[in-house]
Every structure is written in C-alpha cells, then in structure tokens.
Amino acid sequence: MSELEGKVTLITGGASGIGESAARLFVAEGAKVVIADMQRERGLALAEELGPAAVFSEVEVRQEAEVKAAVDLAVDTWGRLDCMFNNAGFGGVLGPIEEIPADDFDLTMDVLVRGVFLGMKHAVPVMKKQGGGSVINTGSIAGVTAGRGPIIYSAAKAAVVHLSKVTAMELGEHFIRVNCLCPGYIATPLSANTVGRPDELIEKAYHTYAVRQPIPRTGMPDDIAQMAMFLASDRSSFVTGQAIVVDGGAATGVMWSDQKDVYKSYHPIKVYNPDAG
C-alpha cells in the first residue's frame, strides 16, 4: 500500500521548488493534492500533468479569502483534508536593519508568518470535524540558528517554528499534529533567485554554489519532500510540536575540517598528576 493512499493534501507554494516536489511525491504515493500557488500557468500545467489526483487553486497566501477557497476546494473535491502543508514563501526584504523600509518588513512577515497562520486557521476546523490531521509548516535553519539568512526572513522563520510548537500544544487533543520542517540550503527557485524563470537557471545558479556542511552536496527539493511525506503519513502519528531540520548538517556546528588546523597550533595539554610534586 502506498504511504499516503486516500489522504488529501493542500500544498501552498505547490507549483515549484519544494512544493512541486512534494506534490509529485504525494500523488505518486496515493494522495490527492490541491496545488495552491500564485503561479497560475505553472500550477495549472503541473495539475494537468499529475492527472485527476491533483487540482490547482490560485492563491496568494496573504489573502484570507483565497486561502479559505483552497481549503474549500479540497473538501468540495474529495470530502476531507488530511494534510495542510504551509510551504509558500520568499526571501523577503534585504539590507541592514537601519535601512529596511517598514512596509517591506510588513510584507515579509505577512507572506512568511500570516500565510502560515491563515493556512492553519482554515484547515484546522476541517481536521477537527474529521477527527485529526497533519499540519506541516515550512521553516528554515535560519529560524533555529543565527546568520543563515536575511535578518527579517530569519526572524519570520523563527516565528513559524514557535507558532508551530504552540499550535501543536493546542491541537494535540484533537489528534491534529503540527510540525515545522526546517530546510537547509536547497536548490530551489527561491534560494537561487530564479522564481518565475526557466528551471535550467537553477542548475546554473548552483554550479558555483558551495556550502560548508558535513554532507558535501547541495540539498534538493526531494530531500524536503521525503520528510514532508513522513510527517503527512501515519508513520509519524506520535510526532508533533517538532522543528525538524533537514540540512545535511549545516546548522549543527563547525565542520572538523574547518577546525583541525586551529587545533594543530595548540600546545599539548599536560595532564595534572598529583604525585608529580
């Protein structure tokens, strides 16, 4: 039996990157999927490619009516909603703190935090009524450690991490699990700054993209999709309130290969011997 047989999932940001990879994997594993995205042409094409197991809903995640419409579409089409994957995002405003316009701060927080809030707000009543479900929110290693992304993006992702935890504490009694996926450096249109541009530009952008991490390869969208599938499946029925980092070890610490030359310069440590006088 497939991992997600009979389950219905809504994926925001589902037309490209991590969302697209998750949509493909979830359908392959037996799920029905609502692909929710601003990229109408790409989303429609993906839904058509995936066949009757997928439908597209044009959604800008700051807009409550559009988020609700996507949830309603899942229920109207398949009668339920088992997994809400709040994945849509962008890099947000850049720059030093003293130069960031307040309006751009608001936009960044609206997309990255309000969008997650709205997804949960409208998915949870459906899940309560049917007796359970799984909510997956996309965070980032930038939300669990400092210096891994733009400052406002990082603060927003930290808010997503904690929002996931406190909501998990509220919803556990309803058998609704809430977890946060924290990707590391993943080859997506967002991280390669190629959103809305041809996919081959991602590979080109990553040709010289190097990250110091224990597992020496670029993370791929499927790495995140596989963990999302686990969280959407019944295999994770006892997992909630977690920030699950999938990053090749990037956020764990400083690699030994970056430390060993420093330690070579240290003098040997003399062990204290009380009998030495």
Q: Does residue 181 contact residue 164 with C-beta atoms inside 8 Å?
A: no
Q: Does residue 43 contact residue 58 with C-beta atoms inside 8 Å?
A: yes
- CA of residue 165 relative to chain centroid, distance: 15
Specify burial of residue 150 (Cβ count, 10 A radius: 0-12, 13-18, 19+): middle
Q: How far apart are CA 66 and CA 82, in angstroms?
A: 19
- Dihedral angle, C-alpha 210, 93, 114, 26, nearest 10 °: -30
Q: Does residue 39 contact residue 29 with C-beta atoms inside 8 Å?
A: no
Q: How far apart are CA 46 and CA 23, in angstroms?
A: 9
Q: Does residue 105 contact residue 113 with C-beta atoms inside 8 Å?
A: no
Q: How far apart are CA 47 and CA 59, in angstroms?
A: 14
Residues 6+ apart with CB under 8 A from 215: 248, 249
Cα-Cα-Cα-Cα dihedral sign, residues 227, 229, 189, 63: negative
Task: Report how far apart, in Å, the C-alpha atoms of 232 and of each of 5, 51, 239 are.
Answer: 11, 21, 10
- Give exposure, 218-248, as e/b (b: 16+ Cβ within 10 Å): bbebebbbebbbbbbbeebeeebbbbbbbbb
For the annotated catalytic residues, the residue numbers are 140, 153, 157
